[in-house]
Structure formats: C-alpha cells, structure tokens
Amino acid sequence: MPHIRIVLVEPLYEGNVGFAARVMKNFGFTDLILINPCTIGNEAKIRASHADDVLEHATVMTLDEVFRTSHRVIATTGSLSYSACHPTRMPFYSPKEIRDLIRDLDGTISILFGRENWGLSNEEVRRADIICTIPTSPLYPIINLSHAVGVICYELANLPKGVIPLATVDEMNHLYEHIDQYLDLVDHPGFKRESTMTLIRRVLGRCNLTWRECSTIHGLLRRSEWHFAPPQGEESSSHPDRTDPDHNDKQ
C-alpha cells in the first residue's frame, strides 16, 4: 500500500490532535505530521488514549517540507468550486474515490487537513495534486477535524501493497517547470498562467505518472520546442544537419 501521512495544518485545539492520533491508530495509520501546531500537552495525551505513541512520534514540519517529501499531496476541503472557470477547488473526489485513485501506488501520499476555523487557504489547496471532500448533510455540513481524519482513515484502511512506482517529487516538479516554460514559448496569456498551471497539476496529479511517462512528456515538449525555435539561419525542421532533440533518448 502507499505510505499514508496525515497532515494537520495549524490545528487550533490539542484535544483534536489527540483524537486524530487515536482514530488514526484505530485504522492502522501512525504517521502524523503537524504544521505550526498549537501546544501539545496533557489534554492531547488524554484524548489520544492508547494512541499516545502516534502523538509522541508526530513530526513537526513546514508545508514546503511536506510537499518536498511527498509523491502526491491530497487537500481535504468542504469549500468547493463548481465552475470549470475556478479550478482551485475542483475537480473533487470523495474519500471512497480517493481510495480507488491511490490504491495501487507505491509512494508517499500526504493528506492535508485544514484549521478548525477556516480550513485550508486557496494557495494551500492550489498546490495540492488532488482535492478530496467528505459528503455531508446540508443541514450541518461542518465536520470536526478528528472526525474528518477518521472518515478518511476508514476509507483508506487495508489498502493492498502498491505496485506502481510513482515519479519522484523532483521529477514531477521538473515536469511542471518545463510546462511552465513552454507556456512562455507559445505566448500563453499571463493572466491565465496560474489557472492553467493549477489545471495541469490537477490532471497530472491524478494520472499517477511514472518516471518513464514524465520522460515521454518531456520528449514531446522538447520536440515541439525544436520546431518552434529552429537554430538560427535554418527554416526547415527537416534540415539534414539538424540535431534530433530526442537523440539522447535513443542512446
């Protein structure tokens, strides 16, 4: 199964942190990450009960460190986008659908849970690869932090051993950087850049690319760039002395 990390972003109440640790252990998860947490004291330990080991071994990290050490990042949110014109919080998936997306993966999956009072910011959600939401009743849609952790852990418990090796964090970031540079080449409008890159991250984030697939996309971009910007003084892309951009890939 993929390695699942539960990440609490700036939790406000230590009791919720303790309860989150407890429900994690109920379903077999032990890797708890805390980002700028509240003070963790006796209340958290009491609420954790027999999961005090999960609490004690929790790691404090920055959000940048979480992204840097995760193959995929899933953001949980109750605030959603329903228009394709606003891609920050869409497309979104239920916890059961998330299980199907990641069940065969071999890598580290970090799941972000936001602050109790206002959740995750747009920028935090925008950086994520996949958006998850828990279907709740419109009569009372706000769910407690530890309850949200419990629902997600329940759905992801007992996943089979992962068999698909994911592209590394560096490989995916390099691909995103290449695509971003390509947008310059094709004169993509600047005011659309952020939205376009968010959509690309959403699409590729749920495709679960391998390193070979990343390499293939790089190759396609390079060949396109080769035709867009031929060497100075050459007009034909079929010039016999011209170096094939995929030459190194053929070695």
Dihedral of alpha carbons 201, 203, 208, 212, sign: negative
DSSP helix, strand, coil percent of the chain (3-state; round to 5) = 45, 15, 40
- Determine which of 14-28, 45-59, 64-78, 202-216 has the lowest per-residue pLDDT on average: 202-216
Task: Check whether 92 has a pLDDT greater than 70.
Answer: yes
- Determine which of 108-117, 195-204, 234-243 has the lowest per-residue pLDDT on average: 234-243
Dihedral of alpha carbons 13, 120, 151, 56, sign: negative
This prediction has a pTM of 0.75
pLDDT 10s digits, 21-68: 999 999 999 999 999 999 999 999 999 999 999 999 999 999 999 999
Q: For the chain, give the number of residues.
A: 251
Ranges of H-type helices in 50-168: 52-56, 63-68, 95-102, 122-127, 145-156
Give, in order, the Cα–Cα distances in Å from 146 to each of 24, 62, 175: 9, 21, 35
Q: What pLDDT sits at residue 46?
A: 96
Task: Check whether 224 has a pLDDT greater than 60.
Answer: yes
Asked if 165 and 107 touch (Cβ cutoff 8 Å), the reply is: yes
Ranges of H-type helices in 103-165: 122-127, 145-156
- Confidence label for 242 from pLDDT (cuts 50, 70 and 90): very low
Q: CB under 8 Å, gap of 24 or more: what pairs does 227-235 form?
A: 228/185, 228/186, 229/185
> Which has the closest alpha carbon to 201: 99, 126, 96, 116?
126
Domains identified in the chain and CATH numbers = 3-165 (3.40.1280.10), 169-249 (no CATH)
